[in-house]
Amino acid sequence: MSNNEKDFVKEVTPQAEDFSQWYLDIVLKTEMMDYAPIKGCMAIRPYGYAIWENIQHLLDRRIKETGHKNAYFPLFIPESLLQKEAEHVEGFAPEVALVTQGGNEKLSEKLVVRPTSEAIICEMYARWVQSWRDLPLLINQWCNVVRWEKNTRPFLRTSEFLWQEGHTVHSTEEEAQEETLKMLGVYQEFLENELAIPVIPGQKTEKEKFAGALKTYTIEALMADGKALQAGTSHNLGQHFAKVFEIKFQDKDDELKYAWTTSWGVSTRLIGALIMVHGDDRGLKLPPRVAPVQVVIVPIITKKKRDEVLLRSKEIAEELRGIGLRIELDDREEYSPGWKFNQWEMKGVPLRLEIGPRDLESGGVTAVRRDTGEKSFLPSESIPSQVPLLLQEIQDTLFRQALEFRKRKTFRPVDYNEFKRILEEDRGFLLAHWCGNSRCEEEIKAETKATIRCIPFDRDPEDKGPCLYCQKEGQLVYFARAY
């Protein structure tokens, strides 16, 4: 390793030294984002945005395959509309941005910049839903939302963020519940297969549910520092919004009935999850399915063989682009190969192909995996078949590693003391009995900063035990400190 290269790696704070600083070093130095001159806001730079575009592309397909269509609703919500649903306004009013002036005039009614769109969408749905024939109404939108956050962190919590929010209307309670769980399932499958992030699906407690929801479901992921991240939520809104916004329909039996609604969303926070689940001290490690660059080709240029090496590099780049892969050919001559290796490793490119005079002679390329560091030689004729296989292996390995990490970091403390000790030493998920009382939940949070992440779907109803806090009989839930 040359001095240059050491400096390069040194730019990133090691995870073990300061995970939080490591995260900030990564997002800035890989040029995923930059801070903007507005409190808590960021500019998402092309390298970060390309990940979001891949997420959008892969998730949008699933949203459409499950029968939803995209639409677009206004950015602004009249304050009076937000106030209609009591719990909803209580949850969101403290963190909204308000427009009070428009076109040089003071507005007669303040406009809320949407923190989420239930209010404006339900207002429109009340007009569009008349009969059972109009149901189910299955709509999604991709947009920006604003929540005036006190403590912000790039991608994880920003005053403005990008997301998708699905909003559906159904004629029966059962159908709304089915939709709520179906979309949570879509999120789980999407995170596990595309982002290589294993998640625990479950229900939120009353205390942690969405403001205005009947029931909130969540998928929870574990970051490399042992903290949990809520990666996506799906809400059964019951008839709460239908009743205050008057979403009614003439049913087949000719009766006028209130409808049942749901909403569900994931956001640019997923980019933060990708970074914190897979990254290491050398930088990002992006799963091939969402990596902006799946393969970087680095020609090892020597004076003698310069043209041959460059020509062969271009041929391989074209060949791989031809089979639909996202390829970067880094033929800049002002940087050394070693410098480029480090840079592309930091940017988390899953696979590097090196092509030098010796590779030319041997009739192939050297392939280096970002996940394991493993090197292999690929004979020319095998490149178009081997590269996709290697990428699939990397995708699978990242998922397996994350799953193994989560298993290793999931604990079953025997009592509250052990619970607190684990939180201090290891963090991770703590599967423990809880009596179901919000009071215990709140005390535990106040004393340990750990919250109930979810009541898991797969808990064994027979597995009962004393509540971590009050000793009354309880059932298993996942606790963790969380982002």
Task: Give the range of 71-79, 176-184, 217-225, 347-355 binding a copy of itself by CB under 8 A.
Answer: 71-79
Bridge partners of 170, per DSSP, are: 260
Q: At what angle do helices 383-408 and 269-278 cross, to 10 degrees?
A: 90
Task: Give the range of 90-98, 244-252, 282-290, 424-432 binding a copy of itself by CB under 8 A.
Answer: 90-98
Comparing CB distances to a copy of itself, the nearer of 134 and 418 is: 134
Range 400-415 burial, b when 16+ CB lie within 10 A, else e? ebbeebbeebebebee
User: Whose CA is closest to 268, among 155, 147, 144?
Assistant: 155
Smallest gap from Cβ 432 to a copy of itself, in A, equals 34
Residue 348 burial class via C-beta count within 10 angstroms: exposed 0-12, middle 13-18, buried 19 and up: buried
Q: Does residue number 389 form part of the binding site for a copy of itself (CB under 8 A)?
A: no
DSSP string over 228-251: EEEEEEEEE-TTHHHHHHT-EEE-
Smallest gap from Cβ 123 to a copy of itself, in A, equals 6
Select from 99, 311, 323, 414 the one that contacts a copy of itself (CB under 8 A): 99
Q: Which two tokens stand for residue 331?
A: 């033929």
Comparing CB distances to a copy of itself, the nearer of 183 and 293 is: 293
Site string for a copy of itself, 282-321 (x = CB under 8 A): ----------------------------------------
Smallest gap from Cβ 119 to a copy of itself, in A, equals 10
CA distance linking residue 469 with residue 93, whole number of Å: 32
Smallest gap from Cβ 78 to a copy of itself, in A, equals 6
Q: What angle do CA 47, 48, 49 make, to 5 degrees?
A: 95
Comparing CB distances to a copy of itself, the nearer of 335 and 377 is: 335
Task: Give the range of 22-30, 143-151, 366-374, 439-447 binding a copy of itself by CB under 8 A.
Answer: 143-151
With CB under 8 A as the rule, give the number of residues binding a copy of itself.
58
CA distance linking residue 29 with residue 8, whole number of Å: 10
Q: At what angle do helices 337-346 and 3-10 cross, to 10 degrees?
A: 10
Select from 26, 55, 59, 77 the one that contacts a copy of itself (CB under 8 A): 77
Range 45-58 burial, b when 16+ CB lie within 10 A, else e? eebbbbbbebbeee
Select from 9, 58, 148, 465 the one that contacts a copy of itself (CB under 8 A): 148
Strand order of the β-sheet with 364-369 is 327-329, 295-299, 351-355, 364-369, 375-379
Select from 73, 245, 344, 479 the one that contacts a copy of itself (CB under 8 A): 73
Comparing CB distances to a copy of itself, the nearer of 41 and 470 is: 41
Amino acid at 15: Q
User: Whose CA is closest to 427, among 441, 443, 413, 442?
Assistant: 413
Q: Does residue number 81 form part of the binding site for a copy of itself (CB under 8 A)?
A: yes
Select from 9, 75, 403, 482 the one that contacts a copy of itself (CB under 8 A): 75
Comparing CB distances to a copy of itself, the nearer of 96 and 300 is: 96
Bridge partners of 353, per DSSP, are: 297, 367
CA dihedral 7, 9, 15, 20 (to 10 degrees): 70
Select from 4, 101, 376, 392 the one that contacts a copy of itself (CB under 8 A): 101
Task: Give the range of 145-153, 314-322, 372-380, 413-421 binding a copy of itself by CB under 8 A.
Answer: 145-153
Smallest gap from Cβ 245 to a copy of itself, in A, equals 11
CA distance linking residue 165 with residue 253, whole number of Å: 32
Amino acid at 180: T
Comparing CB distances to a copy of itself, the nearer of 104 and 417 is: 104
Q: Which two tokens stand for residue 345?
A: 């490793």
Q: Which two tokens stand for residue 196?
A: 């290589």
3-state DSSP call for residue 299? strand
Interacting residues with a copy of itself between 404 and 423 (CB under 8 A): none
Tokens 């290589």 correspond to what residue?
196
User: Whose CA is closest to 135, among 125, 147, 150?
Assistant: 125
Q: Does residue number 139 form part of the binding site for a copy of itself (CB under 8 A)?
A: yes
Q: Does residue number 95 form part of the binding site for a copy of itself (CB under 8 A)?
A: yes
Task: Give the range of 69-77, 174-182, 197-205, 212-220 binding a copy of itself by CB under 8 A.
Answer: 69-77
Q: Does residue number 151 form part of the binding site for a copy of itself (CB under 8 A)?
A: no
Select from 27, 59, 89, 162 the one that contacts a copy of itself (CB under 8 A): 162
Task: Give the range of 88-96, 242-250, 253-261, 357-365 binding a copy of itself by CB under 8 A.
Answer: 88-96
Report in angstroms the alpha-carbon separations of 236 from 131, 166, 180, 270: 21, 12, 6, 22
Tokens 């933060």 correspond to what residue?
272
Interacting residues with a copy of itself between 23 and 52 (CB under 8 A): 34, 36-39, 41-46, 49-50, 52
Residues lying near a copy of itself in the complex (CB under 8 A): 34, 36-39, 41-46, 49-50, 52-53, 69-78, 81, 93-104, 110-111, 113, 120, 123-124, 127-128, 133, 139, 143-144, 146, 148-150, 159-160, 162, 334
